[in-house]
Amino acid sequence: MKVIVCGAGQVGGGIARRLAAEGNDVTVIDVAADLVRHLSETADVRGVVGHGSHPDVLEKGGAANADLLIAVTHADEVNMIACEVSRALFNVPLRIARVRAQSYLNPAWQDLFSGKNLPIDVIISPEIEVGRSIMRRLDVPAAFDVLSFADGKVRVVGVRIDETCPVINTPLRQLTELFPDLSTVVSGISRGDRTFVPKGSDQLLPGDDIYFVCDARHVERTLDIFGMQAHGARRVIIVGGGNIGLYLAQEMEARNAALKVKLIEHNKARAEKVADFLNRTVVLHGDGLDEDLLREANVAEAETVVAVTNDDEVNILASVIAKKAGARRTLALINNPTYAPLVRSLGVDAFIDPRAATVSTILQHVRRGRIRRLYSVFDGKAEVIEAEALETSPLIEKPLREARIPGGIVIAAIIRGDKVHKPHGGFVMEEGDRVVLFASANMVRKVEQMFRVSLEYF
């Protein structure tokens, strides 16, 4: 696949490296010559210096033969125009743009990005994706990550195993024997520098970061088996009243009248504006690093403190101070990936990486085969994928034990109609089944082949 990526920042550079590593023909366009040069020297990508929305630059980048354009510069308008120009002049088949300004995304203007206006196939809003991710995590406080698949029927939950877990040092196959009616599969483990798809003989050890895939109705019971808190947060403090903070407060008000939410915003004018949009949320003007203000917000009683300012350092420090003051759990928005390894050592329970949501959304539209949804996990070392089995799939009409599923791939849930099935060796998949699976990054191509659409299908 020939791909043009407009924007060589953290997101653009990350997706360019990922696609190039998978054998795609990638060209990166950016006005920053140093970023383009660095990418060209460290990854198998071609670099072009210039504005991604300019026709001559797009032509130089090979737009005439491109299959996909991904516009993720820092400017929404550049991203939108790049998609429009690539469609009008070069007929690029698929166009993806990152759009941050919420005004563009107002449902009142939903026709803006239609084919007759701005021809953009996929709009990515990092703020909304981050907000949704945080809301899922608030439902499952013990998790460092919570993903939703199959229209909410399947949850993928990431948790850290510690010494208090009742099932450490227990072979995973024994868990199936102990809880035969539990529709849960431990699908991925990160242990030190190693990330792998476990076998039935593998055990959970203290310090493991794991992902389990389960029927959404079994999340609470699974966490209980792991010795973890299952009920959602009831008292939340949000530090930062930007787009993400406001979105979170509005969603909390809309979803749960019992939630008690307080929001701290440093800028007085912004605090007043945010307060106008909210009904039950208590908006406090002040510094999220001020211990007196945190005490005024009753931080010692807060189940979760979410720090989502536009400053990574403030988010980390606010989380550390809140935890020290008695908050049970803290979440910090972290844009700079170099901070990620430090977060847990400072006592922050979990962090949110906006790049992960953006990259995952893009990969979902790049993957071949009937891939309905995916999410990149463990810093790109693995993917959770939802796919649809067509009649051309080599998986259907035979017991799974005969399907020769390669190592590094585990089928964790099968959805048929409204029912979620836990796979076993004798299960026979049918055309139309949806599958949620976990795959190591080097096995993703195998997954695409398993759910490929052959020409004969048409």
Task: Identify the pLDDT of residue 53.
Answer: 95
- Quick one: 106 and 17 in the same domain? yes
Token duo for residue 377: 């996990």
Are the C-beta atoms of 165 and 137 separated by less than 8 Å? no
User: What pLDDT does residue 371 have?
Assistant: 84
Residue numbers in the chain where pLDDT is lower than 70: 115, 230, 232, 368-369, 453-458
User: How far is Cα 229 from Cα 219, in angstroms, rounded to an integer?
Assistant: 11
Is residue 13 domain-shared with residue 71, that is, in the same domain? yes
- Cα–Cα dist 168/161, whole Å: 8
Of 90, 124, 158, the residue at which a domain comes to its end is 124
CA dihedral sign of residues 196, 198, 202, 205: positive
107 and 13 within one domain: yes
Residue that finishes a domain, picked among 124, 155, 171: 124
Contact 147, 384 (CB under 8 A): yes
Q: Is residue 134 part of a domain?
A: no
- Cα–Cα dist 228/442, whole Å: 32
Which pLDDT score is estimated for 455?
37
The CATH number that applies at residue 239 is 3.40.50.720
Residue recorded with tokens 């945190």: 294
Side chain identity at 245, as an amino acid letter? G
Distance between first and last Cα of the chain: 21
CA atoms within 13 A on the CB side of 18: 27
Total domains in the fold of the chain = 3
- Is 168 inside any structural domain? no
Q: Is residue 95 part of a domain?
A: yes
Q: Are residues 303 and 364 in the same domain?
A: no
Nearest-10 Cα torsion for 257, 258, 260, 261 = -40
| Residue pair 406/399 in contact by the 8 Å Cβ criterion | no
Contact criterion met (CB below 8 Å) for 234 and 258: yes
What is the reported pTM?
0.82
Considering the domain architecture, whether residues 312 and 413 belong to the same structural domain is answered as no
pLDDT at 369: 64
| pLDDT at 448 (0 to 100) | 84
Instruction: For residues 324 and 367, state if they share a domain.
Output: no
Q: For residue 258, report the phi and psi dihedrals to the nearest 5 degrees.
A: -85, -15
Residue 115 confidence (pLDDT): 65
Structure tokens at 54: 């300019």
The CA distance from 458 to 441, in Å, is 30
pLDDT at residue 458, rounded to an integer: 30
Domain that holds residue 402: 357-457
Spatial CB neighbours of 312, under 8 Å, sequence gap ≥ 6: 332, 333, 334, 335, 336, 339
Give whole-number Cα distances, 31 to 41, 76, 206, 274, in Å. Answer: 17, 15, 47, 35
Is 420 among the domain residues? Answer: yes
Q: Is residue 343 part of a domain?
A: no
Task: Specify if 163 maps to a domain.
Answer: no
Identify the helix (H) or strand (E) that includes residue 436. strand 434-440
Q: How much is the pLDDT for 404? A: 85
Residue 34 included in any domain: yes
In a domain, 141, yes or no: no
